Structure 1
């Protein structure tokens, strides 16, 4: 994902800048798309609501990334995007995106790469839905660190990532902490033994 970050910066002058407070919804799953967004500052929590009404966090968007890419040309948003802290967000309508791509052909490639990455992320989430909880936790922890450089997330949010209870998440985190696989610092989970966490992500029985 690192190669995608900040690639959209040259086109920010075309967008509209909005300031969002914490816990504000930028776009809703299922509503007709109005365009795409770029996170200048802050953090966006991307969630997916199942047919049963269960909400799962599927991504945490760091600054420098596009999001809501699927909401173009009136297509419904596949997820919801909500701020986790005060955030600065640029909005680009369909017409504006068309103008950017006409004047800067390389922008179309950046948008396409970002869209493909998001669909791949969604596919990974679906592929892990039936995995054991500990395996899912290891997978998402590695994913968060790889994408954002850290795993800054409280246990309630982590539970929503996995679709399980906070108690279950806490039990596994305490087990990993005891074994020296991770350390906890305020809201952040710090991986101390990447090999062990990778092994659990690949095969939960290797712990």
Structure 2
């Protein structure tokens, strides 16, 4: 989960080429193993990308925030190897391969943007693999920091349950960790919003047993 690369290109200028779609919270936008055609741009909401293990459990791969794209693996007419699920009600724009070719005629530099995005997704997958070795505290901290970085804001508009759903932990585990962080002045919780007050303490290696106690 890395922050989006800097670009002068604004996807909003190309939304007319896409098809606007709405997905309710907990609804799958695309499903692992199904055939796709094109990619999606997240306009509003929050989406988690998961992959199913051989044991049938979902593992978090990435969190997609507004302004980012997803589902690029189907651009080569292959099946999706991940599932995208709306954490919040989401507005997305779907761009078929044909629509993307039309966009390239207007702005050929979009090809470079697509290449950069594919490279970014590869780094995200590597980051997701490394997440497996992290503790529950470190996973939550990494997720909050990534969302803050993507939104350029220290406020994360998620409920505890939504946060638990994103990282694949129980709500009780998330509640205990957040309670400790609140007592230590690391975060504040205001009406389904987490305010990061001490971002430095959530970064490794600062996030140690001296910062958070075992839950």
TM over 0.5: yes
Distance in 1 separating the partners of 2:59 and 2:156:
17
- Give the 3-state SS of the residue equivalent to 1:56 in structure 2: strand
TM-score, normalised on structure 1?
0.86
Structure 2 CA distance for aligned equivalents of residues 5 and 181 of structure 1: 34
Q: Deviations over 1:75-98 (max 9, x none)?
A: 222221223344332111112222
Matched, 1:106 2:70: no
Shift in CA distance, 168/91, structure 1 to aligned 2, threshold 3 Å: same
Is contact 1:22–1:87 with CA below 8 Å preserved after alignment? yes
Matched, 1:204 2:198: no
Using the TM superposition, name which of 111-120 and 55-64 deviates more.
55-64
Q: Structure 1 residues 100, 65: closer, same or farther in 2, change over 3 A?
A: same
CA change 1:50–1:158 in 2 (3 A) is farther
**Total equivalences in the alignment:** 206
Given candidates 172, 176, 183, the residue that maps to 2:177 is 172
In angstroms, what is the RMSD of aligned CA positions?
A: 2.3
Name the SS of the counterpart of 1:71 in structure 2. Answer: helix
Q: What residue number does 2:47 align with?
A: 44
User: Structure 2, unaligned stretches of length 5 or more?
Assistant: none
Structure with greater helix percent: 1
Question: In the aligned structure 2, how far is the partner of 1:73 from the partner of 1:199?
Answer: 37
Residue 127 in 1 paired to residue 130 in 2? yes
Divergent runs of 4+, >6 A: none
1:97 aligned residue: 100
CA-CA distance at 1:36 after TM superposition: 0.4
Does the CA-based 8 Å contact 1:2-1:147 persist in structure 2? no
- TM-score, normalised on structure 2? 0.83
